[in-house]
Amino acid sequence: MSPILAPSAEDLMQPGFVSGAAMARPEILVLTRTLSPDLRGLGAMAANTARRLEESEVSEEPVALDYAHIRFAAVIVAATLMLSLNLAFAQDTSFGQRLFQDKADCQFCHGINGDGRGDPRSPGRAANLHETHLSRDQLVEVIACGRPGTEMPHFDKYAYEDTDCYGLKGKNLGNDAAHDPHSTSLTKREIEAVTDYILAKFVGK
């Protein structure tokens, strides 16, 4: 029987080391790295199993306890990876939420719930984001470029100047060109974060 593959117990305790497992055969435990720095607690739970495996030799007929430890470690590994992905997603949408509600102040027109019921002082007629059928790329373009001939502003500072929008330049639109936002412009990363927040919170819900 081939030996069990496992990192050192110390490796499992390092920041950023989160277990990701595949159980191709009962006697093989494969652990990989992910980017999360905050999940050492769950990694430590698997460390005891790794330490035990390092300190003992694997016989031709492993005892049932060894199999149970391996299966338990695999469950911990899978749960850790899922939690890592969920935390990353929550952090991303939280950033987009702050931009939507504060910096970009999208809620002024679209409403805090994205239903188009904005502040009474807003121009009105804002889209109900729950009903949009736009794809992610299309939403990014609308936020960056605005909607010519409507009250939807462009949040890309250089839209229609250095950047083509809908295949158009500002000089081709005249008075119909999308206007500047009442709040402030956004970077590309911020525009994408707002888009992901809209998709996660409003679209189709």
Instruction: Give domain 104-201's CATH number out of 1.10.3720, 1.10.760, 1.10.8, 1.10.520.
Output: 1.10.760
Return the closest-CA partner of residue 114 out of 93, 128, 102.
128
For residue 101, what are the contacts with CB-CB under 8 A and spacing of at least 6?
Answer: 107, 112
Reported in sequence order, the residue ranges of 23-145 that DSSP labels E, i.e. its strands, are: 30-31
Task: Please list the pLDDT of the chain residue by residue as tens digits (205 residues).
Answer: 444 444 444 544 455 444 443 334 333 333 334 344 444 555 555 556 556 655 655 555 555 555 666 666 666 756 665 555 555 555 568 999 999 999 999 999 999 999 999 999 998 889 999 999 999 999 999 999 999 999 999 999 999 887 678 888 776 788 888 889 999 999 999 999 999 999 999 999 9
The CB-side HSE value for 108 (13 A sphere, CA atoms) comes to: 16
Domain definitions of the chain by residue range: 9-90, 104-201
Rounded to whole angstroms, how far apart are CA atoms 20 and 83? 11
